[in-house]
Structure 1
């Protein structure tokens, strides 16, 4: 099962009827980290009328919180949180700072503005999809390497390393849902000559085509 997390923080802002909405995002894995970031933003933007926020922590949104920080109930914190839940983004806090521009936006206008600011902040961030998979080490002779590389490409498996010696060893990262079938394909393609060794299940993500753990 894969899920999306915030990987790198971002910042952006929108303007609505002369009110400025400044969104900051940060990856967090605990409520303490989220609260510390919120306090940092409040200190930095001490002269703003509102610093509204929402965060969700855990693969299954085990911890979610939101606050309107003085805006009419349900017009800021919950709309921010709704964007995170709708987009399926985990381990993330969003703080939207508002500088009042002198014109009331109404409840609908506030909801739209806070959601738009949240989306802008997320667009300026880096979001990755975390997956579960096994590191698989496959050793084959030089006659089998072409078949193995074909299977890797066909199944869109990630190659971590390739070692050439008397035989060839490929270090692969195989998503959990593909693992059993991929091992069967290797056995069939190499007539059982390939030697396979796998490691325990772990999480990984892809950033700019590179694997991160």
Structure 2
């Protein structure tokens, strides 16, 4: 539940049918703005193309996506591209397919096949990676707790991603989202010097403030 598949980098693919050329580019993206920037990039890269069709999917869920047929018959371009993204389970990805018209109309089925195949080739030309969904924990404490906190972090093999030692100490951890409740219990128990079974949702360590987010 904490992980999902993403592209490891950019890739490209090209499909030809009856003189028309379909040039597909795949880009890793994290936001809609980044995704739409890819469309503008391809409009500049392929000014002779009348159609720059695309699909993107963002994040770990299934609700952040968009398709665009950019003037092609409805459902013949964006949806087939998205279908290839979903076929391999990718997210945080944008695919734009730019079409060079070859003089022969391909028909609905021909267009669907062409956009699908171009997207598929771009995906197959690249590689994938795994993104972990994380949550940050910020620990603030007085220096009297420095020893117990550092000992607990070492004992639980937790690495600090940020630290600030000013008037009070502050350290930040980044944990896989699903492990936060159990790790938080173990952390409080280790700092307080009690058994983890003694730690419930209301348990607090005097002098220690923990924020999630």
Q: Same fold (TM over 0.5)?
A: yes
- Give the direction of change, closer, same or farther, for the CA distance of 1:36–1:69 in structure 2 (3 Å limit): same
What is the number of equivalent residue pairs in this alignment? Answer: 142
CA distance change for structure 1 residues 24 and 198 in 2, over 3 Å: closer, same or farther?
same
- The reply on whether 1:201 has 2:175 as its aligned counterpart is yes
Which residue matches 1:121? Answer: 122
For structure 1, the 5+ residue unaligned runs are 134-194, 204-213
Equivalent residues in 2 for 1:74-93, closer than 5 Å: 74-93=75-94
CA–CA distance in structure 1, aligned partners of residues 95 and 128 of structure 2 = 13
Matches for 1:67-106 after TM superposition, within 5 Å: 67-106=68-107
Q: 1:4 to 1:105 in 2, by over 3 A?
A: same
User: Which residue in 2 is equivalent to 1:20?
Assistant: 21
Is 1:61–1:90's contact at 8 Å kept on the other side of the alignment?
no
Aligned-residue offset at 1:82: 1.4
Structure 2: stretches of 5+ with no match in the other structure? 135-153, 159-173, 178-213
Deviation at 1:196, TM superposition (A): 5.0
C-alpha separation in 2, matches of 1:86 and 1:41 = 24
TM-score computed with the length of structure 2 as normaliser: 0.62
* CA RMSD, Structure 1 to Structure 2 (Å): 1.9
Report SS of the residue matched to 2:72.
coil
The answer to whether structure 1 residue 8 and structure 2 residue 16 are counterparts is no
Query: Any residues of structure 2 matched to 1:1-213 within 5 Å, and which?
Result: 1=1, 2-131=3-132, 196-199=155-158, 201-202=175-176
Q: Tell me if the contact between 1:55 and 1:66 (Cα under 8 Å) persists in the aligned partners.
A: yes
Of stretches 93-102 and 60-69 in structure 1, the one that deviates more from structure 2 is 60-69
Question: What SS is found at the alignment partner of 1:98?
Answer: strand
Cα deviation code 1:37-73 (max 9, x no counterpart): 1111112111112110110111113421111111111
Distance (Å, rounded) in 1 between the aligned partners of 2:119 and 2:31: 20
Q: Which protein is richer in strand relative to its size? A: 1
CA distance in 1: counterparts of 2:176 and 2:12, whole angstroms: 31
Larger radius of gyration: 2
| Dislocated runs of 4+, deviation >4 Å | none
How far apart are the structure 1 equivalents of 2:157 and 2:24? 43
Distance 2:128 2:115 in 1: 20
Offset, 1:95: 0.3
